[in-house]
Structure 1
């Protein structure tokens, strides 16, 4: 049940992102519409959880570790993106660059002070699951850890506190990639404004391709790291990939072929070659 909800939610978000991207003429409108959509989707999820609950503790943990953070993380990202873009002075010039550089610096400071030095961040990034029953089950908030004050305002029936932590990690990854792309393109969106040029396969497929290119060291002699390479592809195809490291670790545990997209590329190319025979 949880896996189906997870797939449906991700598919719904991806389809809506693509449709809004094609219909919107400006990132401000795009981020606003995505914020409205994600807020409604999160509300629907909450209604479902409150009405049906969970069949097991495993389902509960899966929901608060994976499903809710994917929705809330993107909601935080698009809301922040709307605020950043609607406050941007103008496009181009030194002021433009300074504006996005300042936003990037602020994000890095928040990341350093509130996320990367925490025990939970190290736990989550390492892919551990042994403490999931403490972090992602309802009613198990440990107040001895000196939690942020907003924990007292969350709905205890729809939050474990740490699902919000995961959401912030996801949102910050997305925002980091976006701000870096704005700075690296020198204020010009001309390179990525073509509405006809976008990625139409799954995000996991693109992540698999990026890791393959990185592992083969076929770009810049292998001197470009996976993070920088992923940013290039995200800008090129106008797509947000989220936590690519977590997605890659899930690929390593796939049943059957672990390189399903690369296998598909090989088959497609061979079939295309055969057409000329």
Structure 2
């Protein structure tokens, strides 16, 4: 079973890339990945019950490195789905306040339940001297005052600490996702805002024009050989121009239904550049 477990995470990454690089909106994307990852976890559980582990090292590797990645992403995408389906209208103060509040709740949860725990320090330090205790079945010590979630897990498919690692992974993914939704002072944004060379840069055309440009850059492979997601390109323009574009996937699908030219902004760019070239002959 060792080989199939080793390839499991690679298969998940491939499936993720199909959705993330595609044109489906974030709600559809997170729902489909939640459904997919839940099925992967169920199938893996059945496979382990049927075949078992070859040795203790394989068991530790599974509960330390493999299952937490699957479960962590499952928790993450499910949370994204819940956040996106509950958020107010795009743009405006309510929209920004909603995601800022979600980010603050995430920080509070980290401070109260994760940051000061002995296990978190063990995990972050990369230690392995207690792996046998934390990542093998049947070692749950209730004298340690564990979270009540321990009574809800399947003890035949969880060591409890694999769930703890999954929660850490999910929180890290959520943190970066929420940063992309809020105008917070993380390193890149702060650097650009304080830079004399970019402080006077503003997007002065319509939001739809910028969305059209983002999709054109993605489709042409002009950025990172086309291997970077539309969401990341959107984030880059957000950081540069400090402009919220809302649900760009829905906006793009509306563009495809335009009467006349569906690439109005790109067409105008071509004409403007040709006129500029002619003036400088």
TM-score range, shorter chain: 0.5 to 0.7
C-alpha distance after superposition, 1:123-179 (max 9, x if no partner): 000000000000001000010111112212211111000000000000000000000
Name 2:85's counterpart in structure 1: 86
* Cross-structure match for 2:132: 133
Partners of 1:23 and 1:78 in 2: CA distance:
16
Match of 2:30 in 1: 31
Answering whether residue 175 of structure 2 is matched by residue 170 of structure 1, we say: no
> 1:20/1:180 Cα in 2 relative to 1: closer, same or farther (>3 Å)?
same
Measured against aligned partners, the alpha-carbon deviations of 1:204-252 in whole angstroms (never above 9, x if no partner) come to xxxxxxxxxxxxxxxxxxxxxxxxxxxx899459xxxxxxxxxxxxxxx
Name the structure 1 match of 2:44: 45
Taking structure 2 as the reference length, the TM-score comes to 0.67
Asked if residue 183 in structure 1 is aligned to residue 182 in structure 2, the reply is yes
Match of residue 114 from structure 2: 115
Structure 1 partner of 2:12: 13
Secondary structure in structure 2 of the residue aligned to 1:184:
coil
After TM superposition, list the pairs within 5 Å mapping 1:228-243 onto structure 2. Answer: 235-236=235-236
Q: Pairwise mapping of residues 68-107 of structure 1 onto structure 2 (< 5 A)? A: 68-107=67-106
Alignment root-mean-square deviation, CA: 3.0
In the alignment, which residue of structure 2 is the partner of 1:242? none
Q: Retained in 1: the 8 A contact 2:214–2:234?
A: no
Question: Deviation string for 1:53-102 (max 9, x for gaps)?
Answer: 11111110000000000000000000000000000101111111100000
Larger Rg: 2
Contact 2:27/2:84 (CA < 8 Å) preserved in 1? yes
Q: Distance in 1 between matches of 2:38 and 2:119?
A: 26
Q: SS where residue 42 of structure 2 aligns? A: helix
Distance, in Å, in 2 between the alignment partners of 1:44 and 1:152 is 23
TM-score by length of 1: 0.68
- Say if 1:7 and 1:54 are closer, same or farther in 2 by CA, change over 3 A: closer
CA 1:87–1:200 in 2, change beyond 3 Å: closer, same or farther? farther
Number of aligned residue pairs: give it: 208
Q: Which runs of 5+ in 2 are unaligned?
A: 190-206, 238-281
Task: Find the aligned partners of 1:45 and 1:24 in 2 and give their Cα distance.
Answer: 29
Asked whether the 8 Å contact 1:24–1:30 carries over to 2, the reply is: no
Whole-angstrom distance in 2 between the partners of 1:168 and 1:87: 22
Higher relative contact order, chain-length normalized (CA < 8 Å, sep 6+)? 2
Question: What's the CA shift string for 1:9-63, capped at 9, x where partnerless?
Answer: 2221111112122444310000000000000011111011111111111110000
